[in-house]
Structure 1
């Protein structure tokens, strides 16, 4: 049985709220930016508390025990809440979960969320705004002020702490809320990309999203397919437990150590950005001084220039390769029983295959056409604004080296500026909305990114933040 509510109480007495789906970093940023301007928010979150995928106990968290930030706290943190001196340069997921709790506490964000709630459908309302259909995953849930908050990994999540939020009882009780607009902020790293290997494998196969701790690899002959940041982390974990560890890769990578000259690497060169060709030439030479040549350790030579794909922030993988703790294999051709056959004609037996093959964008609760989905990802203005609707936004669908959560907060600030302009300066808002239906500004910063699925929403940090800040100024 469904209960229909106006989302924020009597629609005649108060404006409809904006739905925010997810309470991870992007969802929290959106809720903070909107409520800071007095815009009502009805938040939805699948987990029992805030933190997104950084809450390892969340129902769709893809976190693992050894996970840490690959960017430093200095370049990642929200400007309104710097991390303390007692927090490590590269915090663990435990420290980050605590940080998001502090952020939610500081700005009273939990009261806007309905936790333990899954969004199942978002669709336009015939009289304007949207209908958000959700279900409570707890025995009882009450809208109003929530005392807990939840992880926004992947699928649907709901929470909303406005006074008229629905009060339902009974497991999986369904609620339908009418809202003024929708901000999708359920993350980009919750839906695993699982390739189908040719043939049949007799051992265990699992995606990195299911990996929690290295002890599951104890005594096993392990093949890790893919060498992204998670794959390299898990390989470093595995060498201390597994009988053997190999990594299968298709292309070469650039490896960035976490420290250069005694400082977190991403805190260097924070001034005016260098032209791409100069930065690529300088940084590739600096990296060779610190990491050597990965090709000599078995990796293929990259078929692209540095920064044209996301670098691997893990030099320990090179350390273990140099010590013979693992080895590099080419792309997999097929599997048969316990044997994996590689493209170069070699083969080896394994007990476990770990798929470090990344994630796909996952917005299952909304019609893809409303996001102008084309190929691998939605085609959104500034990776935020749907050209189909002026009341539909996506938070966090952006990847860039060094963008951090502050860069995502600026996304939220732009959304809030636009929503406020619609109410106070409709002509200016309409002019901006017309832009969102036009061509996308160049967000590459002059870099030629690889044409891969995981790069389909990749931008240059400086070009992107500049464009977003300019749009905020235009609407201010």
Structure 2
């Protein structure tokens, strides 16, 4: 382990910030975590600010892939963990791996600016309005992809007058308030899928608009979610086409049809929350269409010493990929892995600005290459899990720095379980 004395500011105490603190500390750095809430854990622990806090809501990903590598869930946790179980898990992980880290709760970061002699100046304010200004050699931005709600250009969203209203997924508080209503969930990502599962499981009449595979899961095995597909097969969840616009009492779909609904839940994502940077720096990160453009999904060539975590397509089992990204940053900054050349960073940034966003499996493969922990090409079980998008964290502990002999058993077990599943459920994490 290198003897780094560098203090690194970690902005955000959610899963990405927790993982960053754990792995930076493991490489000898001194991370300082800034968290505006009263506890670590981000959306999973902050109560009324998030979809994750809805009573009874479960993750849309399996237990084996809804965790980090060095700590499993308690044995009593369900196959798809509840929000409470994930919150408890993150609390246990923090207690076990963030020891020695300086954690500043109820502290908001007001701005990050270049320091005149190098590094970065971080200005923060505590709940007691105490203001601080400190210099850090590097900064990890883990403020979360889920910070500012976006309705994704949903046309006519303000016109809907149904009795249940139109709410963002972050305002979902459980199935009880939608009983007896016809509900449309827009968006097939983790939040949309989890909400649709919750509503259908409670007997609510619900349609899900977004994922193309939902109408024909057998034709899209690499994108299929077994639980959602099963509900569709049973007639308890109705697949719907993409939404073209919202009307007073329902929606027009892209195929020209229309339906009326009592409630609409828009799982349409979030906008990047990077207002802590001066306008010039924020403009370097955010594209005209509101996406964050980053080299290797993490860096910007014009912002040396800054790593942005978690701003990638998180549809699927994101926790192992967040941890993998945190490891990559720790390895690159400590010299365990080689930082990509400037030309490579520029090429990656150009692709991020103009090309489609890679899916979660592609992003995981990228971070694994950066960290030097790619699963061996000859490892059949690992290849099967990667192809199916079943990204258990042990995939990235088979080889390279911090390889763990126990990972082999987990990967073999998960690959065997994957083979036993039905063809429709071949990729449970999307």
Same-fold call, TM > 0.5? yes
| Residue 135 of structure 1: aligned partner | 125
Which of 437, 440, 443 aligns to 2:348? It is 440
Q: 1:239 to 1:35 in 2, by over 3 A?
A: closer
Summarize the Cα distance change of 1:174–1:325 in structure 2 as closer, same or farther, 3 Å threshold. same
Q: Which residue is equivalent to 1:263?
A: none
In the TM superposition, what are the counterparts of 1:269-284 in structure 2 within 5 Å?
none
Q: Distance in 1 between matches of 2:254 and 2:349?
A: 40
What CA distance in whole angstroms lies between the structure 1 residues aligned with 2:88 and 2:99? Answer: 15
Q: Provide, for residues 33-77 of structure 1, a one-character-per-residue CA deviation record: whole Å limited to 9, x for no partner.
A: 222233122211122111122215164565433333333333443
Which of 188, 192, 196 pairs up with 2:149?
Answer: 192
Tell me how far 1:209 sits from its aligned partner: 1.2
Shift of 1:318: 3.6
Find the aligned partners of 1:439 and 1:252 in 2 and give their Cα distance.
31
The structure whose residues are more often helix, as a share, is 2
Matched, 1:253 2:253: no
- What are the superposed Cα offsets for residues 104-145 of structure 1, whole Å, 9 maximum, x if unpaired? 111344751111122221111122111112222x3xxxxxxx
Distance in 2, matches of 1:318 and 1:363, equals 37
Instruction: Provide the C-alpha distance between the structure 2 equivalents of 1:61 and 1:335, rounded to a whole number of angstroms.
Output: 22
Contact 2:32 2:102 in 1 (8 A): yes
1-side partners of 2:371 and 2:147: how far apart?
29
Structure 1: how far apart are the matches of 2:349 and 2:255? 42
CA distance in 2, matches of 1:402, 1:352: 26
Counterpart secondary structure, 1:253: helix
Call closer, same or farther: CA 1:110–1:357 in 2, change over 3 Å: farther
**Structure possessing the higher radius of gyration over alpha carbons:** 1
Structure 1: gaps of 5 or more residues: 1-13, 139-169, 255-293, 445-449
Aligned-CA RMSD value: 3.8
User: Is residue 202 from structure 1 mapped to residue 142 from structure 2 by the alignment?
Assistant: no
CA distance in 1: counterparts of 2:169 and 2:77, whole angstroms:
27
Pairing 1:163-242 to 2, within 5 Å after superposition: 170=128, 172-194=129-151, 195-198=153-156, 200-203=159-162, 204-239=165-200
Determine the C-alpha separation between the residues in 2 that align with 1:402 and 1:241: 23
Gap regions ≥5 residues in structure 2 = 375-399, 402-430
Using the TM superposition, give the Cα deviation of residue 383 of structure 1 relative to its aligned residue in structure 2, in angstroms: 1.6
Note if 1:68 corresponds to 2:58: yes
Distance (whole Å) between structure 2 residues aligned to residue 205 and residue 222 of structure 1: 10
CA contact (8 A) 2:39 2:46 kept: no
- Cα distance in 2, alignment partners of residues 462 and 243 from structure 1: 36
Q: What's the CA shift for 1:353?
A: 1.4
Deviations, residues 75-101 of structure 1 (Å, cap 9, x unaligned): 443232233434333322212211111
Structure 2 partner of 1:115: 105
